[in-house]
Amino acid sequence: MVSEISELRKRCANLDSFRYENEVLSRCLARAELMHRRTAEHLREERRRRRIAECANSELHRQLRAWYGGETVTSLFDTPAHYRGDGHVTCCRAMESAQSQSKVVEPTQMAFYWWACSFKYVWRMWSKADPVADGNKAIDCLRKCMEEVADG
């Protein structure tokens, strides 16, 4: 009889823990489902907001392409303000123009790299907080460029 009671107690304890686990599990599932619904609602709202922004953006891009003569303008939005210049002549365009001129001496790749770095520092010198630091960096890059030219 004692063994039967202890066996019954064990079964009841298992039933109680099972009931508790089911209750906790159902609460967790309900909470997960609620979070899933909220996340899905948030994602739907975010997608809707982005579609509206993309429509406005595509109209802006169309107008800018018309203004710049059909040229793609995504690079203008990717370019930091201190390299943008007036919006038409950017640092990148100025470097490309300077690089494409006829050369008496063909620079090595490293010499051109150091020249381009110094060009960027000079270009943004007045657009940043510390023009002296950018000027010194440009001078340092030009020194390295001149060392490459002298070695090459």
Give 85-114 pLDDT, tens digit per residue. Answer: 776 777 888 888 888 888 888 888 899 999
Q: What is the pLDDT of residue 146?
A: 93
Please tell me the predicted confidence (pLDDT) of residue 4. Answer: 57
For 30-83, what is each residue's pLDDT tens digit? 777 777 777 878 788 888 888 777 767 777 767 766 666 555 555 555 667 767
DSSP H stretches of helix in the chain? 2-67, 74-78, 81-84, 91-99, 109-124, 131-151
Residue ranges of the domains in the chain? 1-78, 79-151
Taking the complete model, does pTM exceed 0.75, yes or no? no
pLDDT value of position 107: 85
Q: What are phi and psi of 54, to 5 degrees?
A: -65, -40
The more confidently predicted of residues 61 and 134 is: 134
